[in-house]
């Protein structure tokens, strides 16, 4: 037994796929991109990628945190101040926010200005 099916020509009907809009929250300056450890230690502390800020322990990708907040319909934004020697930003994800300030000391050292004591970080 065989079946023969007929249908209208639908070659003129195209389905357009709408890709989700990806928001770039971080615009990390080139001079700070890399992994950093606290001077005198061997453990990574922060990782800066061109579009992400990562706290190594406990591992937290703030890009992921922001994407999750956005997908839950919550506030997700980063307010940045960028110069040749400073990278400051405030992360807001939902009802939580946190601010970070970093100052370039040299090509291999930055200072984390945390309001309590400034910590020197070495590029790995």
We report the CATH number of the domain holding residue 81 as: 2.40.128
Residue 50, pLDDT score:
96
State yes or no: pLDDT of 114 exceeds 80.
yes
What are the pLDDT digits (tens) for 54-101? 999 999 999 999 999 999 999 999 999 999 999 999 999 999 999 999
Average pLDDT estimate for 34-45: 94
CA gap 74, 64 in Å, rounded = 13
Tell me what pLDDT residue 1 has. 46
Is residue 88 one of the residues assigned to a domain?
Answer: yes
**Would 25 be classed as within a structural domain?**
no
Classify residue 111: in a domain, yes or no.
yes
Report pLDDT for 32. 98
Distance linking the first and last C-alpha atoms of the chain: 71
Distances (CA, A) of 70 to 18, 21, 62, 79, 122: 18, 11, 12, 15, 33
pLDDT of residue 115: 87
Q: Which domain holds residue 118?
A: 30-123
10 within domain boundaries? no
Residue 98 pairs with which residues in a beta bridge? 91
Instruction: Please tell me what DSSP assigns to residue 17.
Output: P
**In whole angstroms, what is the distance from residue 52 CA to residue 48 CA?**
6
- Is 95 a domain residue? yes
Q: Which is nearest to 105 in space by CA: 124, 119, 115, 116?
A: 119
Helix (H, G, I), strand (E, B) or coil at 121: strand
Is the per-residue pLDDT at 7 higher than 80?
Answer: no
pLDDT at 22: 78
DSSP state string for 56-119: TTTTEEHHHHHHHHHHTT--EEEEEEE-SSEEEEEEEETTEEEEEEEEE-SSSEEEE--SS--E
Count how many domains the chain has.
Answer: 1
Neighbours of 90 (CB within 10 A): 14
């Amino acid at each position: 037994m065989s079946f023969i099916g007929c249908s209208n020509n639908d070659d003129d009907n195209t389905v357009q796929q709408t890709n989700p809009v990806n928001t770039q929250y971080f615009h990390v300056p080139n001079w700070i991109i890399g992994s950093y450890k606290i001077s005198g230690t061997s453990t990574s502390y922060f990782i800066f990628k061109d579009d992400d800020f990562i706290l190594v322990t406990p591992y937290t990708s703030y890009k992921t945190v922001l994407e999750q907040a956005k997908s839950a319909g919550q506030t997700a934004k980063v307010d940045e101040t960028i110069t040749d020697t400073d990278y400051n930003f405030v992360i807001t994800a939902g009802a939580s926010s946190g601010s970070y300030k970093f100052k370039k000391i040299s090509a291999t050292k930055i200072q984390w200005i945390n309001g309590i004591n400034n910590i020197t970080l070495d590029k790995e």
